Structure 1
Amino acid sequence: MDLVAGLGQTGQSVMRYLQASGEPMLAFDTRPDFDISQLQEDYPKVLFATGELPKAWHKWITRVVLSPGICKRDAWVLALQERGVEVVGDIELFARAVSQPVVAITGSNGKSTVTTLVGDFLSAAGYRVGVGGNIGRPALDVLLDDCECDVYVLELSSFQLETTYSLHSTASTVLNISEDHMDRYAGLDDYIQAKTIVYSDTELAVVPKGYESQLWLTKQLKKVYFGLEMPQADNEYGVLTHDQQAWLGRGNQAWLNLNEIALNAPHHQLNALAAMALCEPFDLPVGVFQQVLANFRGLAHRTQLVVEHAGVEWIDDSKGTNVGASLSALQSLGQQVLPEGRIILLAGGVGKGADFSDLKPAIQTYARALVLFGRDANIMHQTLSDSTDCYLVENLQQAVRQAQKLAKPGDIVLLSPACASFDQFKNYQDRGEQFSLEVKKALGL
């Protein structure tokens, strides 16, 4: 019998999928105070438990479907594995059920944007596309849709990949690597190993230039590369000079003039190049890329302009939940704001064991001040306070008010926390929405 372990969004998606396929199941959540009353009403034939797994259940369990938030190295999971119980995740169930092409996307940063762009490119070319995974809609919910998809595009976290063993993809990528979830992994190599599972069975590996040695790629894989440099070979996507202007393209082919793309900061260029490379097996016309990128305005809470007021831009990058994401935002926006202005960076939250020192050079180069709040603000302060003027506050409201005092015309106030949000907020979306409200309140808008 299946044990569905972890009853958040993904676990509930697994329950819907197993119920639709007629599979019997048990359901368990490690949180003792998790409210299961609605689930018990929705699934009257399922036994539920919270806190600790009942010992009496062990003899019934033949497979564990583990939610990403539960580590497969937890003692109770290992004990079941030692008894020969299979441990899988929702993406493994998805992989066993689909025969259509799959594009699989992971990385420390940019996953949601690239996943969205690939879905938009394929849709604009006439494909029926299912987009899901870590991006919002669980993959199994997409599979349960009545719509018959031609191709699936999945955003995958390292947690999901840990329990995925048989996913075959038409194209896949690890967009980048930076420290994240170091409270769960033994070190960076352990984290990278989880990410590179996405390349295990793929027809085309899309590889970020400069990361080849980190990603342990086999010679047998068919590869294409992407980066901001001029392409040196036909299998490279990059930035070319054509007619004295900068273009995105492949090999020596200039495809998209940067002046005709709605978002053309360096990190946006990288996202676009990765998405185009992932679509190579589908042989899309260049006009599709031009059409989508001319109108794509980015995702909510990812370097999203909240308001420009009195010469100051207030930008929501609440989705910057790790050091790499915030570093990308600092560098990209910093290049735009200099020399007229500087960045006031609002950061802090749950650091997940990250090393914040990687932010120092960018802060020294681009920041006027650093305003820190949340659980690990003191840890960030110890690491970064010698980089620029640094202020410690209790919460986001105080951070906005402090930034308002510091900002000058030409500056950017950037919320890019480099931390998870669950110390003071429901999630990063809630944090971004609260930021927008506090900004408008402070500015009297």
Structure 2
Amino acid sequence: MKNWLIIGAGVSGKAAALYLRARGHGVRISEKRWLEPAERDGLVDVGVDVRDAGHDVNHLDAIDAVVVSPGVATNHFLVRSALQRGLAIVPEIELALDEVRGPLLAVTGTNGKSTTCAMIAHLLEGLGQRPILAGNFGIPLSHFLIDGPTHAPVVLEVSSYQLEFCDRLRSRSAAVLNLDADHLRRHVTLDNYLASKWKLLEQCESGGTVILPAELDDRAARLRLMPPRARKLTVGIGSSDADVVLHQRQVRERGGSQLADLGVLPWSEPHNDYNAMVAMLLTASIVPESLSVLAHLLRDFRGLPHRCQPIGELRHRPVIDDSKATNVAATLAAVMSFEEPVTLLVGGEPKGDAWEALLEARGTIDHVVAFGEAAPLIERTLCGRVEVTCYASLRDCLEDAERWARREGGPILFSPGCSSFDEFADFEDRGRFFQRWLSSRQDAGGREVVANGASPFGR
């Protein structure tokens, strides 16, 4: 048995602690914040040594190995100190891998990871299997394996943060969906960001399949990243010179043979067609079904909350919650899925993205309503080419809806393109806030209630 230090007492850290204690290991947790009494008691009751209210190098004393949570950077002083002491560093996502006895499918990318993973799980369930959906999706893998090994297929959403420490994430098949400028405060350059994602493909089993956009394959070759051992399948959209291409809702092999018709699916967003194509290809790598059969199994897939989710109407205009859009590329994809001009609500904590990208879709943007820390930058970038109205916060923006929502126009799209941390805990918290606001303006029948001057938020 070993003595483990877990850095971080978030969801992943707690799951890792319970997993290790269930196997008789000694566990200590180092956490920078004060834990709530219930949190602390839940860990102490199972024998965890809790060290909260600040990290300290002494927390490494008498420790044999270290588990890091996704939020812990490679240059964290405890990580550096652990390496200097010769201690093994294990990411939570790899901690329980030896107890995964069924096929493991892994997905990473800047945008679309959760939806693609949910689609894969939906397909496997439709084929009579009971997959485990874990990782960055919300529930740590170690949580599912506390009671012992599993032979079920595992669908794992993996972020670049989780991949930084990975060196044995042996998936059966894996995909990198896309790569756009995001998390550059952590990775600094796009090439570093790609190298982090690429580790997932490098570590895929030799008998498996790796899926990636053709342009990323070219970029990786220029960077001389190690080629994957698994069979490589490139994907693309439109006229792309890839092995599998999505064109006008048809999935085709290079050369033109049709593999599936996505016109049977209940959505119209091109980015979700792309996610579906990758989900079907990954699923087909472990089950003997055609893509055509898999496409029909996706007909009753209804998507995830806060991802281009219709939530009601305002001034007889559809309102769409796309709070999951935390970078400009995701917002651009959402905007371009509409045929009529939208009123676009964007803003929050900026990530350094290039807002000029939205000008690609300016014919589909009627009015930009910008809020939060990013609002001045958005206004400077877009003003003169797109009408922009600015607010200090999302709350201020929504309280002034009588002004910007009176305009004639198409859908109102809430797709922030920024982090939520300037006002909210995460994108889900932000999305729930937005949905509560819209609900406060409607009666039980979904009809809009004319505002009487009172704030729906309280004070």
Match of 1:426 in 2: 425
Deviation, structure 1 residue 218: 1.4
Q: State yes or no: 1:366 paired with 2:378.
A: no
CA distance in 1, matches of 2:149, 2:408: 50
Match of 1:38 in 2: 39
Q: State yes or no: 1:399 paired with 2:397.
A: yes
Instruction: Note the alpha carbon deviations across 1:257-278, whole angstroms, 9 max, x for none.
Output: 3432101321111011111111
Match of 2:273 in 1: 269
CA distance in 1, matches of 2:57, 2:213: 47
| Amino acid across the alignment from 1:412 | P
CA distance in 1, matches of 2:367, 2:129: 47
CA distance in 2, matches of 1:177, 1:66: 24
CA distance in 2, matches of 1:95, 1:88: 11
| Amino acid across the alignment from 2:106 | A
Instruction: Note the alpha carbon deviations across 1:241-263, whole angstroms, 9 max, x for none.
Output: xxxxx533445443443432101
| Amino acid across the alignment from 1:281 | S
Match of 2:186 in 1: 184
Deviation, structure 1 residue 435: 0.8
CA contact (8 A) 1:228 1:269 kept: no
Q: State yes or no: 1:301 paired with 2:301.
A: no
Q: State yes or no: 1:224 paired with 2:227.
A: no
CA distance in 2, matches of 1:41, 1:400: 39
CA contact (8 A) 2:29 2:48 kept: yes
CA contact (8 A) 1:238 1:250 kept: no
Closer, same or farther in 2 for the Cα pair 1:365/1:14, shift >3 Å?
Answer: same
Closer, same or farther in 2 for the Cα pair 1:83/1:354, shift >3 Å?
Answer: farther
Structure 1 range deviating more: 247-256 or 173-182? 247-256
Match of 1:327 in 2: 332
| Amino acid across the alignment from 1:307 | G
Deviation, structure 1 residue 35: 3.1
**TM-score normalised per structure 1:** 0.89
Match of 2:415 in 1: 416
Match of 2:456 in 1: none
Q: State yes or no: 1:207 paired with 2:212.
A: yes
CA distance in 1, matches of 2:43, 2:232: 46
Deviation, structure 1 residue 360: 3.2
| Amino acid across the alignment from 1:305 | P
Q: State yes or no: 1:376 paired with 2:378.
A: no
Gaps of 5+ in 2: 443-447, 450-459
Q: State yes or no: 1:279 paired with 2:280.
A: no
Deviation, structure 1 residue 432: 0.9
CA distance in 1, matches of 2:179, 2:25: 38
Match of 1:243 in 2: none
CA distance in 2, matches of 1:146, 1:285: 33
Match of 1:248 in 2: 251
3-state SS of 2:186 partner: coil
CA contact (8 A) 1:348 1:377 kept: yes
| Amino acid across the alignment from 2:394 | L
3-state SS of 2:277 partner: helix
Closer, same or farther in 2 for the Cα pair 1:353/1:311, shift >3 Å?
Answer: same
Match of 2:349 in 1: 350
CA distance in 2, matches of 1:427, 1:210: 31
3-state SS of 1:166 partner: coil
Give the 5 Å matches for 1:98-177: 98-144=100-146, 148-177=150-179
| Amino acid across the alignment from 1:324 | A
Closer, same or farther in 2 for the Cα pair 1:386/1:78, shift >3 Å?
Answer: farther
CA distance in 2, matches of 1:157, 1:225: 20
Structure 1 range deviating more: 145-154 or 322-331? 145-154
CA contact (8 A) 1:133 1:155 kept: yes
3-state SS of 1:87 partner: strand
Structure 1 range deviating more: 55-64 or 297-306? 55-64
CA distance in 1, matches of 2:116, 2:185: 26
CA contact (8 A) 2:368 2:388 kept: yes
- Sequence identity (%): 29
CA distance in 1, matches of 2:147, 2:432: 30
CA distance in 1, matches of 2:65, 2:148: 27
Closer, same or farther in 2 for the Cα pair 1:404/1:95, shift >3 Å?
Answer: farther
CA contact (8 A) 1:316 1:416 kept: yes
CA contact (8 A) 1:311 1:410 kept: no
Deviation, structure 1 residue 284: 2.0
CA contact (8 A) 1:370 1:390 kept: yes
Deviation, structure 1 residue 288: 4.1
**TM-score normalised per structure 2:** 0.87
Gaps of 5+ in 1: 241-245
CA distance in 2, matches of 1:434, 1:320: 15
3-state SS of 1:436 partner: helix
Deviation, structure 1 residue 415: 0.8
CA distance in 2, matches of 1:435, 1:355: 25
Q: State yes or no: 1:89 paired with 2:109.
A: no
Deviation, structure 1 residue 137: 1.3
| Amino acid across the alignment from 2:374 | D
Instruction: Note the alpha carbon deviations across 1:97-119, whole angstroms, 9 max, x for none.
Output: 32321100000000000001111
| Amino acid across the alignment from 2:125 | S
Deviation, structure 1 residue 150: 2.7
Deviation, structure 1 residue 11: 0.8
CA contact (8 A) 2:202 2:227 kept: no
CA contact (8 A) 1:132 1:154 kept: yes
Deviation, structure 1 residue 400: 3.1
